[in-house]
Structure 1
Amino acid sequence: MVSYREIQASNELISDANAPRVAVFVGGTSGIGQLTVKALVNTGVSIRIYLVGRKSSEERIQTLIDELQAINPQAEVIWTEGEISLLSETKRICEVIKAKESRVDLLFLTAGYIPFGERKETTEGLETVQSLEYYSRMLFTTLLFPLLGLSENPRVVSVLSGGLERVTSINLDDLDLKKPGNFGGVAAQGQYGTMNSIYLDKLATNHTDITFIHSWPGAVNTGSVRRGFGPNSIMVWVIRLLLEPLLALVSYSDNESAQRHLFQSTSAAFGGRGIPWKGKPGVNSREQETTGLFLVNHKCDCTPNTRVIPVLREKAQTKVWDHTQEVLRPYL
C-alpha cells in the first residue's frame, strides 16, 4: 500500500515545472472530480482547467470557480456547459476545447452514478448511466487524442472500478443490457466498469505515449448512491438518514480522496514523466512499469488483475471494441 504520508509528500512536490498545464475534468462539478479540482488548484500552480457539466450546475459552479481563483490567481477555471450523457454534446464540447487549446495534459473522467430503478435511455437511445460512465468517457478520450498526443506527460484517469473486473461481470451477449432481466444497479456497474478496462487496455496498446488509469476510489461519500433514485423517492431519505452515516464511518474523507486522486493524476508511480517516485513503481495491465493501463485501487496500489484481464483480453476485447466503435462512429 502507498501510505497517505507518501502521497502527501509527492503532492507537495507539484510545481509549475511538472504539473499539468491544461486539464479537462468531465463530471468535475461534484464528487471526486470536484474534490480533485480543488486539490489541484490549491497547489498554487499555473493551470487552465475545463470544468465540464450540466447547465443546472452552472450557478453553483460559478461560485466555486470564483473561490478557486481567489485562492490561486494563476489557475484559470473555465466552465464548459454540456449534457455529457449525449454523445453529440460530448463531441461539441471536445470541438470547443480543440479550438482553444494546442494540448491537453490531463483528462479526468468521473461522471456517473449507480443506476437503481428502471432502465432509462437518453434521446440517443443509450442507457443514461452507461453513456455517462462508458460511451461518453471513451468518446472524450478518442476525440481529445490529438491534444493529448502533444503533451509531454499525457494522462487519462477514469474513476469507476479499476481492478474489480470479473470474467462473469460482463454480459457479452447483451453489452447494453437491453434484454429483460439483465439490467440492474449491481449488474450495470459491473458491466460498465469492466468495459472501461477492456477498452482502455486496447487504447493503451495503440497509444503507448499516454498513461491510462482506471481507478477504484473505494468508499467516498459523494452522494452518488442517492442519484440513482428519483428526487422524491423514499429511498433517498433512507440512504441519507441510515446508509450515509454508516458510510461516513468507513469512507475516506473528502480531502484524503482528493489527495489520492491528485497523486494518481501526477505521480510517476504510474509511468510517464510525473512527479519523481522513489517507491515501488506501479505495474500496468500487461505487468510492465512503462505507460499503459494502470488499474489502481483505493490504496493507490496497482493490480494487473492477472487472473481476469488476460481472459477478458482474449475472449471479450474484440467484441467490446467493435461494438463500441459502432456506437461511437457517428460522432468520430
Structure 2
Amino acid sequence: MVSYKEIRASNALLNDATTPRVAVFAGGTSGIGQLTVRALVSTGASVRIHLIGRKSSEERSRIFIQELNAINPKAEIIWVEGEISLLSETKRVCEIIKSKESRIDLLFLTTGYAPFGARNETAEGIEITQSLIYYSRILFIQHLLPLLRLSEAPKIVSVQGGGMERTTVDLEDMDLKKPGNFGLVNTHVQYVAMLSTTMEKLAAENQGVTFIHSCPGWVNTGNVNRGLDASLTIKSWLVWLFLEPLIGLFSFSDEESGQRYLFQSTSAAFGGRGVPWKGKAGVNSQMKTGEDGLFLVTSKCDTTPNAKVMPVLREKAQGKVWEHTQKVLGPYL
C-alpha cells in the first residue's frame, strides 16, 4: 500500500514544471473525475482542462468551474458538451479537442455506472453502460493517442476495475445480447476484462505512454443510484438500506480519493515518468518493473500484474476482443 502521507508528499512536489499542462477529463463532472479535477487545480499550477459532460450537467458544471477559477486563477477550464454514450458524439468531442491542442499530457476516463436494471441501448444500438465503460473510452484513447505521444510524460488513467479481471470473459457474446447474459455481475466481469486486454494491447503499441487501469475501491460518488430504473422499487430500497451505508462506512473521503488519483496521474511510480518516486516501482501487467505498459492499480495505489489471469486473456481473448472492438468503432475512427 502507498500511504496517504507518501501520496501527499508526492503531490506537494507538483508545480508548473511537473503538473500535466493539458488534461482531458471524460466523466469529470461528478464522482472521482470531479474530485481529481479539483485536486489537480488545487496544486496552483498552470493547467488547461477540457471538462466533458452532458447538457444536463452544464449548469452545475458552470458553478464548479467558477469554484475552480476561485481556487486557482491560473487554471483554464474549457467546458465541452457531449453525450459521450454515443460514439458519434465521442468522435465529435475528440475532433474539437484535437483542433484546439498540439499535445495532451493526461487523459482521465471515469464514465459509466453499474447497470442494476435491464439492457438499455443507445440510439446506436449499444448497451449504454458498455458504451460508457468500454467503447467510448477506447475511442477516446485511439483518437487522442497522437496528441498524447507528443507529451513528455503522457498518461491515460481509466477508472473501473483494474486488477479484478477474470478469465471468464464471453468471447462468443461480447456485447452480452443473448438472453440471460446481461446482469450486474456479468457486465462487470466482461467490461473489466475487455478494457484491460485492449488497453494492454494499445500500451504495447505505444511505448512512451503510461496506461493505467485503476480500481477505485469504496468511494462515495453517488453513481450507485444512476443505474437504477425508477420501477426497481425493491432494488432501490436495498441499495438505500444496505449498499449506501456500506459505501459511506468504508469509502475514502473525497479529499483522499482526489489526492490518490492525482498521484496516479502524475507520479513516476507508474512507468518512470512524472514526479520522481523513491518508493517501490510499479509492476506492469506483464510483470515488468520500471518499464512502459499497462499498470493495474488497486484502490491503495499498489500495482498488481494479476498474474493468473492476464496471460490467459492475452493469449485467448486479446485478438478476438480487439477485432470485435475495431469492427464496432470503425465508423467512428
Q: TM-score range by the shorter chain?
A: over 0.9
Distance 2:259 2:231 in 1: 34
Deviation at 1:187, TM superposition (A): 0.7
AA of the residue aligned to 2:75:
A
Match of 1:190 in 2: 189
Match of 1:278 in 2: 278
Checking the alignment, whether the CA contact within 8 Å between 1:210 and 1:272 is kept in structure 2 is no
Deviation at 1:232, TM superposition (A): 6.2
Question: Share of identical aligned residues, percent?
Answer: 66
CA RMSD of aligned residues (A): 1.0
Aligned to 2:269, the other structure's residue is in SS state helix
AA of the residue aligned to 1:128:
I
1:211 to 2:214 alignment:
no
Q: Give the TM-score of the pair, scaled to structure 2.
A: 0.97
Distance 2:117 2:184 in 1: 8
AA of the residue aligned to 1:26:
A
Match of 1:262 in 2: 262
Deviation at 1:246, TM superposition (A): 2.5
1:318 to 2:319 alignment:
yes
The within-5 A match list for 1:85-124 is 85-124=85-124
Distance 2:67 2:40 in 1: 14
Distance 2:220 2:287 in 1: 32
Match of 1:252 in 2: 252
Match of 2:7 in 1: 7
Runs of 4+ in 1 over 3 A off after TM superposition: 235-238
AA of the residue aligned to 1:159:
V
1:294 to 2:331 alignment:
no
| Residues 80-89 or 281-290, more deviating | 281-290
* Offset from partner CA, 1:57-91 (integer Å, 9 cap, x none): 00000000001001100001111100000000000
The within-5 A match list for 1:126-165 is 126-165=126-165
Aligned to 1:284, the other structure's residue is in SS state coil
Match of 1:72 in 2: 72
Checking the alignment, whether the CA contact within 8 Å between 2:116 and 2:229 is kept in structure 1 is no
AA of the residue aligned to 2:174:
L
Q: Structure 1: which 5+ runs fail to align?
A: none
Distance 1:221 1:325 in 2: 34
1:178 to 2:177 alignment:
yes
Deviation at 1:284, TM superposition (A): 0.5
The within-5 A match list for 1:203-242 is 203-231=202-230, 233-234=232-233, 235-242=235-242
AA of the residue aligned to 1:177:
L
Aligned to 1:167, the other structure's residue is in SS state coil
Checking the alignment, whether the CA contact within 8 Å between 2:117 and 2:228 is kept in structure 1 is yes
* Offset from partner CA, 1:175-212 (integer Å, 9 cap, x none): 00000010001110111011110000000110011000
AA of the residue aligned to 1:208:
Q
1:41 to 2:66 alignment:
no
| Residues 53-62 or 216-225, more deviating | 216-225
How many residues are paired up?
331
Aligned to 1:268, the other structure's residue is in SS state coil
Match of 2:201 in 1: 202
Checking the alignment, whether the CA contact within 8 Å between 1:153 and 1:272 is kept in structure 2 is no
* Offset from partner CA, 1:244-300 (integer Å, 9 cap, x none): 123211111111111111100000000142000000100111122212100000010
Distance 2:137 2:282 in 1: 23
AA of the residue aligned to 1:306:
A
Q: Structure 2: which 5+ runs fail to align?
A: none
* Offset from partner CA, 1:113-172 (integer Å, 9 cap, x none): 00111101101111100000000000000000111011111100000000000112x111
Match of 2:328 in 1: 327
Checking the alignment, whether the CA contact within 8 Å between 1:204 and 1:293 is kept in structure 2 is yes
AA of the residue aligned to 1:309:
M
| Residues 236-245 or 146-155, more deviating | 236-245
AA of the residue aligned to 1:94:
C
Checking the alignment, whether the CA contact within 8 Å between 2:209 and 2:292 is kept in structure 1 is yes
